[in-house]
Amino acid sequence: MIPSVVDAVRDEIKKLPDNLQNSGLAAAAISLANQLELASSRDCAGIARELRTTLATLREMAGNELSEENPIESLRKANSDL
């Protein structure tokens, strides 16, 4: 089963530090996910763009505090040890 947009966004937010999980920006991301699930096809692109930007901002604010390491960074670290 494919997860809903809201479930996927909530999973992303759970990976953030506590202060960001409870932020207005995280709440906005969940609200946008709800809107995206209910949106007409005409509105989907704009809402999806805002949701993507909001999640990217949250990830950027989290920086190195994300609970799950970025796979690209893992590869980069592994290659630097060679």
pLDDT in tens, 9-68: 999 999 999 999 999 999 999 999 999 999 998 999 999 999 999 999 999 999 866 655
Where in the sequence is the domain holding 44, given as residue range(s)? 5-80
Which string of DSSP letters, residue by residue, matches 18-82? HHHHTSHHHHHHHHHHHHHHH--HHHHHHHHHHHHHHHHHHHHHHGGG-SS--HHHHHHHHHHT-
Q: Given pLDDT bands bounded at 50, 70 and 90, which one contains residue 77?
A: low
- What's the domain count of the chain? 1
25: helix, coil or strand? helix
Q: Between the CA of residue 41 and those of 8, 47, 48, 77, what are the distances in Å?
A: 20, 10, 11, 41
Quote the pLDDT of residue 55. Answer: 94
Residue 75: pLDDT above 90? no
pTM of the model as a whole: 0.74
